[in-house]
Amino acid sequence: MIFNTWVFALFMTVVFITYWWGIVPSWRRWFLVGAGLVFFAYRYPPHTLLLLILTIWVYLLGQAIYELKDREACQGIPTEQRQKFLLWLGIAACIGALGYYKYRLPSTSDIIVPLGISYFTFEFIHYLSDLYAGKIERSSFLDFSVFPIFFPTLASGPIKRFQGFRESEGEIKSFQGHYLSEGLTRILVGIAKKSIIADSMAPFSLRLSEPESFQGLALWLGVYAYALKIYFDFSGYSDMAIGCARLLGYRIPENFNYPYLQSNISEFWRRWHISLSSWLRDYLFIPLGGSRGSVVKTSINLLLVMALCGLWHGGTLNYISWGVYHGLGLVVFRLFRTALGGKNRLGLAGRILGILLTFHFVALGWIFFATPSFEASLMVFKKVLFIK
């Protein structure tokens, strides 16, 4: 279901009324699991089995890790290697499912990609990783299953953390009027972003899909239009997801915080798709060594993580190139900041210049998203940069 449709509006209305006044409070979480499965099955019912299998598999592996931790604590029996084996077994299942459906060969291109698989597999990996690290307490199957199958975030995030989700859940007692006002406000803001701004940019951004038909200035208009379209489309969707969750009493992570008004690419990534960028930081960049090593090692880590970020979006050369492009931007900025001694010495004028440069760097990067092939991307770059 797409959020800004009458089908979803009807679905959300029925869920909202039933959740608060149609069932007893003790059944609300089971009802949310059922609603999530209905939402997921609407697009392609057979994929519901995949979601259920992964949910059960990850939960059982988590319980097995807990048992090993208890055995080690009570009996002094070393279980670290077995815990690590179970962790990687769960991660391999998630990555395997993601890889099979999203990065398939052309000969299997008729396979339908499960709704939100990029998002719920990352939530599973987070759960297992934090559980292994001792950051998550033992929970029941219901406690766990409502987390990945929570329908407001199932399709396109934000990517939740189990601890924050459970904390939010613990605050819900009974219906409060501000749930309705806050939820509807965010939903309406999201619909306005998507339907009024993003959709109005679509005709201009389509120029990037046919670069042979346009020249430099016309393509620049397409670049600006696509930058606005992708921001208001995605942030609007996140607003709608946050609003739907709020109608049910939950708080889920914010995903955008004025990313186009940041004066450097590092700040941009702290405020763009926040739930993904923080996931990449915590579960890829830091485990790889983060910025604790040499300049060369840190640069390699940044390039690798951003290349994988591009691959997460799609298995084409365009997406990977977009990731490497941003990785290079982060490396150059880190070297520049180091040369300045880690301080911003440019003042207000420098900040304004930084905002303009960062926005244009990001906007040009979206060319890789908007064009149908790598060759088309190069054609757009040549034309907008007036390269013969």
Rounded Cα gap, residues 136 and 374, in angstroms? 43
Residue with tokens 């059944």: 27
pLDDT, residue 82, reads 95
pLDDT beyond 60 at 261: yes
Which residue, among 256, 254, 206, 202, has the nearest Cα to 228 in the 3D structure?
Answer: 202
Rounded Cα gap, residues 42 and 51, in angstroms? 13
Which residue, among 54, 86, 56, has the nearest Cα to 68 in the 3D structure?
Answer: 86
Rounded Cα gap, residues 87 and 65, in angstroms? 8
Catalytic residue, from 47, 126, 313, 326: name it.
313
Q: Which helix (H) or strand (E) holds 88?
A: helix 80-102
Could you read off the pLDDT of 108-145 as tens digits, one per residue? Answer: 557 789 999 999 999 999 999 999 999 999 999 999 99
pLDDT, residue 292, reads 87
Q: What is the phi/psi pair of residue 286, to 5°?
A: -65, -45
**CA torsion sign, 207 to 355 to 299 to 282?**
negative
Catalytic: 313? Answer: yes
Could you read off the pLDDT of 316-346 as tens digits, one per residue? Answer: 999 999 999 999 999 999 998 888 776 666 6
Average pLDDT, the chain: 93
Q: Report the range of poorest mean pLDDT among 242-246, 339-343, 361-365.
A: 339-343
Q: Domain-by-domain residue ranges, the chain? A: 6-170, 177-247, 259-384
Q: Report the range of poorest mean pLDDT among 54-58, 263-267, 333-337.
A: 333-337
pLDDT, residue 244, reads 98
Could you read off the pLDDT of 151-188 as tens digits, one per residue? Answer: 999 999 999 999 999 999 988 889 999 999 999 999 99
Q: What is the phi/psi pair of residue 99, to 5°?
A: -65, -40
pLDDT, residue 105, reads 57
Residue with tokens 């208001």: 232
pLDDT, residue 107, reads 45
pLDDT, residue 338, reads 82
Alpha-carbon distances, residue 112 vs 41, 87, 100, 157, 253 (angstroms): 13, 28, 11, 19, 29
What's the angle, vertex CA 286, arms to CA 282 and CA 288, rounded to 5?
130
Alpha-carbon distances, residue 28 vs 18, 33, 175 (angstroms): 9, 9, 12
pLDDT, residue 109, reads 58
pLDDT beyond 50 at 103: yes
Alpha-carbon distances, residue 171 vs 103, 174, 176, 301 (angstroms): 40, 9, 11, 39
